[in-house]
Chains A and B, each alone.
Chain A
């Protein structure tokens, strides 16, 4: 059992995937062996019977055959479900192999030998379409990354055995009879295909739903070649992948041709040719097997998409450059060896790394698009590659009159460079696609801004004639611009019949200076205006020092609103006797028994920034009436006075959330008081949490500095601090990033600790579901906080998509999200995060987690409970702690009672109640 697990881990296969992976592996094994026998026979017979210069024609014929095969496949794909189609394809392959074998009996001409190699490519294509089509439907993007290397390796031992057997058998049965072996292998693959059919039923029903809809819509166009081209051009990712695919296959075909030219020179009988081809391909298969089984999935996981795709062109570039550099010194044999090496490596890397990576890149596409992309890649790019390389080779041979390998090397070098560019282009599109695939329901509105003079003039004209709401909206818009609203427009609107418009204009005049327009207010107050307009006008007159005497008489107004406006204006803007008079009235009001009078003063004081009336504000801050306190608190916030702000935060202990908004108004001035309050552990947990978030809302450089400081000072408050930083516009400086990485590491370690506890809970007890779900909530919360830190450090939009995907709980969204994280965040961190938070069975992931985080071993449930209550490995929510106590009490676990002492004084009633049970 253990042995089996080691194998599964080595191959990155999870228990629930074993059955389907085995079937896919064996399917690929038998079909791969059949194709190996067929290739050995067809290539040997071709090289033995025809000149090497005929090979480019083989490529061109192959392109035509592949076009037709791909086209028919695309047609059948819409008519049959994938497993049925797989069966049809397999039977077709069997019949075609039988046909070629029987052709040797019934025909005496060698024309069909010429068709065998192109037909090999058709068999190879059909096998690929069938196999990868099913595999892509069965697995998601992350499974693909892990498993495609393993399942596609099925054809390697098959090829190894096929080629080795072919090499041995050819001596006894001859080249032609290798086709019988090919036939037998193909027939042997059928039972596994039937087995896969059952596993793929659920995936297919979804797939068919997609297609049945599409089918009706495009029934006719599916058989149209133009439609395939349209499909190709419809998706940028598929387009770029296809272009890269053509380049990759084309390069391989040219290397292949060069190598075959040398082989043809070296071997002259069909048996020796078959022997060499079989031997050479066996060697390639062995290397293949090692690379695919051991390195492919790990390499893709470690390197990521772009680096994995670059391996093949880099290797090819080095080899071809070496051929060019050594052409003057090396002999023909050396060039043969180099081409042999190039052929081997390009073939191995192309199949073991490029193809699985291509498949992985397609995973973010929706099911039907993924299948279409697959069909396009295999059905269109390969024929194009054959066609282009065939034509290119024919042209070169025609121009030079012979096969010149050095010229071919230069062509290949140029293709390598295009390859690099292609990989870069594919990567860009892949990132866009993956982001789009989980975010197509969201979009951002751009801020609206009016800048051009034409529009501004139109708005001003409209403000004169528009409706009440239109005018106010236009004024709002104009006010948001840097330039002030023209005075003539303000004056005009002050006389607008609408009370609302007048009031709004006066409000704007209090906000910004309009000295010319302000003078016209004297005329306005002499008209019959409402008390509200009069009060606002008085304030504007005072603010602009226009005529205090005109205001003075309103101090005795019977209307409170008008009197308060006069008091406000004269107290804050007048000087001398008028100011003193206003002050003495305010002092009387502040000590008044009447709540309304005290409230008036509080309101007046709250309307001015930098108010110096410390004593008055302080007195009102301690008023017993909440509404008076509210305005006094605002006045304290606006004052920027350190003593008042300190007094304000102290009142937070008593009045809790009433102080939050005033402290926000205080902005940077509030920060020292808030910092001291939080670090001194004053107030309730909830208040401290709100204050931390408030620092983020202040959102200044100073507030950012304080938050970073708190991150070091108060590790227990991580969640709130991280949330506050995330909500602010803070962008970490280079030297600050490490602090966040440290936080991430700590949180990942905590998360791994919780995963260990969860795993142990599963093994120790089955009836601790309550604790287990509490720990799941802890993990959710840690995951969310980690993502917030990622959003601070990396591309916020991408990380928010990851957060939304996790919040949706949809597995395929989460899988795509993990891919985004892989691309967006630092590789090692993203890897660890994905390892811990990947959906699915914990114990399956544990082995990989243990490699990074030392395992926390618990002997029994009591140790687990003590570990949670001591908060050794992580800070826990009160809910989790309460659950741990509840479980221990209910099931009589002898936990360490000392650990409960601090919880007996907890602010959280629930936790306190639980602790007090002991």
Chain B
């Protein structure tokens, strides 16, 4: 529908996009609808740098279209595609980026900045609860993985 309106995604569609991401698949749409207005669209041309290694991390990105290369120097670590997320931990802490991100093709990204996110969780604790739940799930999975590898 948004294409017909010749605009970016509607807020509702942004919620659906968030819901389609693996990290938010268990978060209720009512919570995600608080997060959606924080999503800012960014268009990056092929080979455009999204961030460099050691830059302070203060936002997360969602790929709407295109491919993003995650790399350390010239060593490619991963190629991310549509509906994948990167830099999500930067929403919660201010650690530096552990790798660089460069657009492998022309990309449309959605960016969520840390500061408005903090403001949101000040007034909407359920958003924070949703994130804590996601982190707990990841921690559990990691624990299980470590236990298995031991």
> Measuring CB to CB, which residues of chain A are less than 8 angstroms from any residue of chain B?
656-657, 686, 770, 773-774, 777, 877-879, 882-883, 886, 889-890, 908-910, 913-914, 917
Inter-subunit contact A879/B29 (CB<8 Å): yes
A-B contacts, 16 of them at CB < 8 A, read A657-B123, A777-B28, A777-B30, A879-B15, A882-B12, A882-B33, A889-B1, A908-B33, A909-B11, A909-B37, A910-B11, A910-B15, A910-B33, A910-B36, A910-B37, A917-B5
Q: With A686-B123, A909-B37 in contact, is A877–B30 under 8 Å at CB?
A: yes
C-alpha spacing A890/B1, complex, angstroms? 6
A882: chain B residues at CB < 8 Å are 12, 33
A-B contact count (CB 8 A): 41
B15: chain A residues at CB < 8 Å are 879, 910
B36: chain A residues at CB < 8 Å are 910
B30: chain A residues at CB < 8 Å are 777, 877, 879
Inter-subunit contact B122/A657 (CB<8 Å): yes
User: From residue 14 to 63 of chain B, which have CB atoms closer than 8 A to chain A?
Assistant: 15-16, 28-30, 33, 36-37
- Is B10 part of the binding interface, using a Cβ–Cβ cutoff of 8 Å? yes
Q: With A657-B122, A657-B123, A879-B29 in contact, is A770–B16 under 8 Å at CB?
A: yes
A909: chain B residues at CB < 8 Å are 11, 37
Interface digits, B97-127 against A, CB 8 Å rule (1 contact, 0 not)? 0000000000000000000000000110000
| Cβ-closest chain A residue relative to B14 | A910
Inter-subunit contact A883/B12 (CB<8 Å): yes
| Cβ-closest chain B residue relative to A912 | B11
A773: chain B residues at CB < 8 Å are 29
Closest CB-CB distance, A907 to chain B, in whole Å? Answer: 12
Closest CB-CB distance, A914 to chain B, in whole Å? Answer: 6
Inter-subunit contact B12/A913 (CB<8 Å): yes
A777: chain B residues at CB < 8 Å are 28-30
How many residues from B make CB contacts under 8 Å with A? 15
Looking at chain A's contact residues, the main secondary structure is helix
C-alpha spacing A910/B37, complex, angstroms? 8
Inter-subunit contact B11/A656 (CB<8 Å): no
Interface digits, B120-137 against A, CB 8 Å rule (1 contact, 0 not)? 001100000000000000
Closest CB-CB distance, A777 to chain B, in whole Å? Answer: 6
C-alpha spacing A773/B15, complex, angstroms? 13
B29: chain A residues at CB < 8 Å are 773-774, 777, 879
Q: With A777-B29, A879-B29 in contact, is A886–B11 under 8 Å at CB?
A: no
Inter-subunit contact A656/B33 (CB<8 Å): no
Q: Which 8 A-B pairs have the closest CB atoms?
A: A910-B11, A879-B30, A910-B33, A890-B1, A886-B12, A913-B11, A882-B12, A879-B29
Q: 17 extra interchain contacts, Cβ-Cβ under 8 A, other than A877-B30, A886-B12, A890-B1?
A: A657-B123, A686-B123, A777-B29, A879-B30, A882-B33, A886-B10, A889-B1, A910-B12, A910-B15, A910-B37, A913-B10, A913-B11, A913-B12, A914-B11, A914-B12, A917-B5, A917-B10
C-alpha spacing A211/B105, complex, angstroms? 57
C-alpha spacing A503/B1, complex, angstroms? 65
Closest CB-CB distance, A310 to chain B, in whole Å? Answer: 45
| Cβ-closest chain A residue relative to B1 | A890
C-alpha spacing A878/B12, complex, angstroms? 11
Q: With A777-B28, A910-B11, A913-B11 in contact, is A886–B33 under 8 Å at CB?
A: no
| Cβ-closest chain B residue relative to A687 | B123
C-alpha spacing A770/B20, complex, angstroms? 12
| Cβ-closest chain B residue relative to A889 | B1
Inter-subunit contact A886/B123 (CB<8 Å): no
B16: chain A residues at CB < 8 Å are 770
Closest CB-CB distance, A724 to chain B, in whole Å? Answer: 15
A890: chain B residues at CB < 8 Å are 1
Closest CB-CB distance, A784 to chain B, in whole Å? Answer: 11
C-alpha spacing A777/B27, complex, angstroms? 11
B33: chain A residues at CB < 8 Å are 878-879, 882, 908, 910
Closest CB-CB distance, A247 to chain B, in whole Å? Answer: 49
C-alpha spacing A882/B16, complex, angstroms? 12
Closest CB-CB distance, A259 to chain B, in whole Å? Answer: 62
| Cβ-closest chain A residue relative to B11 | A910
Interface digits, B74-93 against A, CB 8 Å rule (1 contact, 0 not)? 00000000000000000000
Closest CB-CB distance, B124 to chain A, in whole Å? Answer: 8
A908: chain B residues at CB < 8 Å are 33
Q: CB within 8 A of A914: which of B10, B28, B122, B123?
A: B10
| Cβ-closest chain B residue relative to A778 | B30
Closest CB-CB distance, A584 to chain B, in whole Å? Answer: 40
C-alpha spacing A889/B2, complex, angstroms? 11
A910: chain B residues at CB < 8 Å are 11-12, 15, 33, 36-37
Q: CB within 8 A of B1: which of A657, A877, A878, A886?
A: A886
B5: chain A residues at CB < 8 Å are 917
C-alpha spacing A290/B30, complex, angstroms? 51
A886: chain B residues at CB < 8 Å are 1, 10, 12
B10: chain A residues at CB < 8 Å are 886, 913-914, 917
C-alpha spacing A886/B12, complex, angstroms? 8
A770: chain B residues at CB < 8 Å are 16
A656: chain B residues at CB < 8 Å are 123
C-alpha spacing A914/B12, complex, angstroms? 8
C-alpha spacing A326/B89, complex, angstroms? 85
C-alpha spacing A914/B15, complex, angstroms? 13
B1: chain A residues at CB < 8 Å are 886, 889-890
Closest CB-CB distance, A883 to chain B, in whole Å? Answer: 7
| Cβ-closest chain B residue relative to A781 | B30
| Cβ-closest chain B residue relative to A885 | B12
C-alpha spacing A882/B15, complex, angstroms? 11
A774: chain B residues at CB < 8 Å are 29
